[in-house]
């Protein structure tokens, strides 16, 4: 069966070298991250072999957290352009195996919108990945409107991925712990903090009326819905139209029409069951979170799913093919 994964990460040393050590902070300094550095930098070597070994047809690549948000605002546009050019160069000749989400200079939203359009039109990138907050601002802030407008016009999705927590949040929520090692600490990021913040981010977009303002916008989130499937019924009651928010539709209707989730980093059946019961099979796409998770883990999970073959096909490739226009 054709298998697509669309939260699969890259980080090129020639670009991370342009980021100051103070901007990086503790990110990437753990022994685990140092071991993953060669895997993040590789595209057509070990990565492609692992895809072949595990039957993965296409990976959609995106830059990890060491992106344009870590360089000075005035340098971010050139940094993002150079990075996107490099991604396009590295996947050239392998377009049947790799696609990409653009890296955007989020500190310059109008320029970011233009960069999104350039990469979609020139390189056939499939949308953009945005990581967390930008200068402590959520995406419901009006300054980011040009990005949503352009994504809707181009008919490409925005993938909202967790980002490093703002220092003020990290200092209050995640400091004072034994062996605390900064913002890369598991509690602040992949163990909990990332996911609750992304869920909050999506709910803010709903409450602010962003989905209604851009009704053709498609948003993707990973990690089996960033806790939202479990909270759907409770949040549905809180965010009813007329309860004080700008949203004109219910949470459920909005999410079914415009929000898509991936399985990235989740490899057990109970969370998938909740996601299926709330989001439905048409809104879920298979992903691995390579190289932070292994393709072997992902394929073992996929093979264990007890669903009809046509639904497995939607999960494995059909929904992604449709949303990202990967195969006509």
Q: How does DSSP assign 38-54, residue by residue?
A: HHHH-SSSHHHHHHHHH
Q: Tell me how far the alpha carbon of residue 322 is from its chain's centroid.
A: 18
Relative to beta strand 284-285, strand 98-100 is unpaired
Q: Would you tell me the crossing angle of helices 46-54 and 31-41 to the nearest 10 degrees?
A: 80
What are the φ and ψ backbone dihedral angles of 45, each rounded to 5 degrees? -100, -110
In the structure encoding, which two tokens stand for residue 301, read together? 């999970």
């233009």: which residue's tokens? 114
Rounded distance between C-alpha atoms, residue 308 and residue 321, angstroms: 19
Rounded distance between C-alpha atoms, residue 54 and residue 180, angstroms: 36
When computed from its CA atoms, the radius of gyration of the chain, rounded to whole angstroms, is 19
In the structure encoding, which two tokens stand for residue 39, read together? 């895997």
In the structure encoding, which two tokens stand for residue 158, read together? 């925005």
What's the first-to-final CA gap in the chain, in angstroms? 16
Rounded distance between C-alpha atoms, residue 94 and residue 99, angstroms: 9
| Residue 122 annotated to the active site | no
Catalytic residue among 289, 306, 310, 321: 289
Rounded distance between C-alpha atoms, residue 250 and residue 234, angstroms: 12
Please list the active-site residues. Answer: 289
């Amino acid at each position: 069966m054709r298998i697509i994964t669309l939260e699969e990460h890259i980080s090129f040393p020639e670009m991370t070298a342009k980021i100051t050590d103070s901007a990086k902070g503790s990110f990437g300094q753990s022994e685990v991250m140092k071991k993953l550095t060669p895997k993040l930098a590789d595209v057509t070597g070990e990565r492609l072999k692992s895809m072949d070994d595990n039957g993965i047809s296409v990976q959609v690549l995106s830059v990890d957290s060491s992106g344009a948000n870590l360089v000075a605002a005035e340098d971010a546009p050139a940094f993002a352009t150079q990075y996107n050019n490099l991604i396009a160069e590295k996947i050239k000749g392998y377009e049947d195996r790799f696609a990409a989400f653009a890296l955007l200079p989020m500190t310059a939203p109008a320029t970011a919108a233009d960069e999104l359009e350039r990469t979609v039109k020139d390189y056939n990138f499939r949308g953009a990945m945005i990581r967390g907050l930008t200068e402590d601002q959520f995406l419901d802030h009006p300054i980011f409107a040009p990005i949503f407008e352009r994504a809707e016009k181009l008919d490409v999705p925005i993938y909202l991925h967790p980002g490093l927590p703002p220092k003020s949040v990290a200092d209050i929520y995640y400091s004072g712990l034994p062996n605390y090692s900064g913002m890369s600490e598991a509690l602040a990021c992949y163990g909990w903090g990332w996911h609750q913040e992304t869920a909050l981010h999506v709910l803010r977009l709903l409450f602010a009326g962003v989905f209604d303002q851009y009704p053709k916008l498609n948003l993707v989130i990973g990690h089996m819905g960033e806790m939202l499937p479990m909270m759907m019924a409770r949040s549905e009651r809180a965010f009813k139209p007329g309860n004080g928010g700008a949203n004109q539709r219910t949470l459920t209707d909005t999410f079914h029409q415009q929000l898509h989730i991936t399985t990235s980093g989740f490899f057990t059946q109970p969370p998938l069951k909740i996601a299926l019961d709330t989001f439905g099979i048409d809104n879920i796409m298979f992903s691995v979170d390579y190289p932070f998770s292994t393709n072997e883990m992902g394929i073992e999970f996929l093979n264990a799913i007890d669903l009809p073959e046509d639904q497995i096909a939607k999960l494995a490739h059909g929904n992604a093919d449709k949303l990202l226009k990967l195969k006509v």
